[in-house]
Amino acid sequence: MLGEGWDSVAILVNDSIVFRIPKRPAVARQMANEVRVLDVIRPYVSVRIPLIEWIGQPHGRFTVSAVGYRKLTGTPLSAIPPGATRDDALRRVGCFLGELHGIPTSTLNDADVPRFRWTGDNSPDGSDGWETGLQAFMERIIADVVPLLDPSTGERVSDGIAAFLGEAQHFSFHPVLIHGDLSPEHILVDSETGEISVIDFGDSGIGDPAYDVGPELLPWYGCQVDESFRARQRFYRRLAPFHGVLHGLATGDVALVAEGLRQVVEEFGG
């Protein structure tokens, strides 16, 4: 047993092959999309990414029953202390994002790359676009999460959402292919060569480049940064706890809901 996340179980076979097994039919569809995304981006990126060599046959409502690839080794970025090694890793990741976000739109369209899917979006093809998907995500927060908060925190959340959605410039960016879940745990660093591996592309889709680019990556990001980029970047980071709350509510995970609410209060409380 290698690990278990919200969407899949990972098993390590013979210390060399990783198999990921989807928990729900929607995740199986995402895995099928992930295979397509990895094939599309491979010629464009300079980091190591998974090469899917095994695809489990459909089973019931599951489009694929598993995917498998040769294990990519390295130390998670989250475990690397500040210093030259970490700085070099951040530089490489910033370059990777520039490469990923720079893939031509025509290439993405030809490959029918999916749109980014927000937590709670169970539609077969995802939303019609980033703004539509974000609006629906905000509506789920207002309907399902705000009632669980104290009135003052809930009001600040609602006001923050209204203020962001009310700014037209927040939706004037050029959509690109984003990783969608570029946490430090999904970035592996080879301690000897400094080479980077990026894993877990299950959330990849067309969306806002600011969603991928954390503040510490911005100095090395190779693509254009528009006027509202940093404001969008900060807003998306503040949304992080809501993903946990909504997923916990959908799956009945009481502990995940409680932890997510604690983080929301920490972020939006007085």
Confirm if 92 and 168 have CB atoms less than 8 A apart. no
Question: What are the residues facing 11 on neighbouring strands?
Answer: 19
- Residues ≥6 apart with Cβ < 8 Å to 184: 76, 77, 78
Question: In this model, does residue 127 exceed pLDDT 70?
Answer: no
Rounded mean pLDDT of the chain? 93
| Cβ–Cβ under 8 Å, residues 136 and 126 | no
Q: Is the pLDDT of residue 222 over 90?
A: no
Give me 131's structure tokens: 């703004």
pLDDT given at position 5: 87
> d(Cα 4, Cα 185) in Å, to the nearest integer?
13
pLDDT confidence tier of residue 142, bands split at 50, 70 and 90: very high
Distance (Å, whole) CA 262 – CA 217 = 27
CA separation, residue 55 to residues 13, 45, 52, 181, 196 (Å): 15, 23, 7, 22, 25
For the record, the structure tokens of 266 come out as: 């920490």
User: For the segment 146-155, what is each residue's pLDDT rounded down to a tens digit?
Assistant: 999 999 999 9
CA 54 from centre of chain: 23
Pairing of the two strands 52-55 and 187-189: unpaired
Q: For 194-204, what is each residue's pLDDT tens digit?
A: 899 999 998 99
Q: Could you give the angle at which helices 229-251 and 151-165 cross, rounded to 10 degrees? A: 130
Q: Residue 13 has what pLDDT? A: 97
What distances in angstroms separate CA 194 from CA 98, 127, 186, one per listed residue? Answer: 19, 38, 15
Residues 207 and 178 sit within 8 Å (Cβ to Cβ): yes
186: CB partners within 8 A, 6+ apart: 179, 198, 199, 200
pLDDT tens, residue by residue, 73-94: 999 999 999 999 999 999 999 9
SS3 62: strand
- Specify burial of residue 185 (Cβ count, 10 A radius: 0-12, 13-18, 19+): middle
pLDDT score at 6: 87
Amino acid occupying residue 189: V
pLDDT of amino acid 237: 94
Q: What is the pLDDT of residues 36-70, one digit of tens each?
A: 999 999 999 999 999 999 999 999 999 999 999 99
Angle between helices 229-251 and 254-268 (to 10 degrees): 150
Domains, the chain, with CATH or none = 72-268 (3.90.1200.10)
CB of 20 closer than 8 Å to CB of 30: no
Kindly tell me the sign of the dihedral angle through the C-alpha atoms of 177, 256, 72, 191: positive
